[in-house]
Amino acid sequence: MMRIVMGGVRGTEPASRAEFLTYGGATTSVLIEDGCGARLVIDAGTGLRTLQPRLASATADAPVLMLLTHYHLDHLLGLPAFAPLYRPDWHVTFAAPAREGVTAQDALSRLMEKPFWPVAFRARQTFRVLPDVPGDAPLRHGPFAIRWCAVHHLNGCHAYRIDQTGTGASAVFATDLEWRASDDAERARLLKLCREPRPADVLIMDGQFDAEEAARFAGWGHSAWQDAAEVAKAAGVGRLVVTHHAPENDDAVLSRREEALVRILPRACFARDGMELKVGKQL
């Protein structure tokens, strides 16, 4: 069975006031695991701290795979203070396509440079530069097959699809994309990722705005929750989870939007910090 844990679901910057407790205020980080030792993380926002107990052990035979959608700070903020990265016995592989000529290794080196952070990581790190377009064979990590595609966002961003061998469970994670500004080719790529080899069980997609806000903030690189519903319907996915909530949208705002979403798609919801999704059948 595939288990998905939403460590952080907020976009742009963390939010920590009392009126943000229901949906949470940590920035993007998501864990996908099989229950037998295979673990991958998508993005490393402040929600990475929530995931730390599940990631504390990682050996050369079973490293954590960390996929990065892009290098904007809200998606990397959890890395400098992430305790396992200072243990020499912890193993991690960072993987992402290069974006505007910048690799994941380049981005992390800049993030950890003095005077911005005082100490270097001590964990065993491997960096893998993924091609812009995956070949016929997906990236493999334990029972997981990983595919990806570029989406519309300033400085570049990629959506990922994870398929689990054996159970057939599948999930697509598509954050930081502006659906309304996407051209036909960009839309076709994301829909293909969601549909093939079969419609994904879960689509976790950026819905930072509502439709009115999306019109006012055109060019900011984010979608409306109505856009996420449109993609979910067009792709025929099993379930939609809307994520990357704007830092100013408190529980009351998100609750009203979630109620409106459920009226359109009964098997949809807004993501919450700490939310767990179980997908597929037990092996």
Q: Which domain holds residue 255?
A: 2-279
Q: Domains in the chain: how many in total?
A: 1
Residue 233, beta-bridge partner list: none
Phi/psi at 7 (5° precision) = -70, -40
- The whole-angstrom separation of Cα 227 and Cα 52 is 32
Span 209-239, pLDDT tens digits: 999 888 888 889 999 999 999 999 999 999 9
Q: What angle do CA 70, 75, 79 make, to 5 degrees?
A: 115
pLDDT tens digits, residue range 9-53?
999 999 989 999 999 999 999 999 998 889 999 999 999 999 999
Contact (CB, 8 A) for 24 and 9: yes
Residue 192 sits in a domain of what CATH number?
3.60.15.10
Q: How do residues 112-163 score in pLDDT, each as one tens digit?
A: 999 999 999 999 999 999 998 887 789 999 999 999 999 999 999 999 999 9
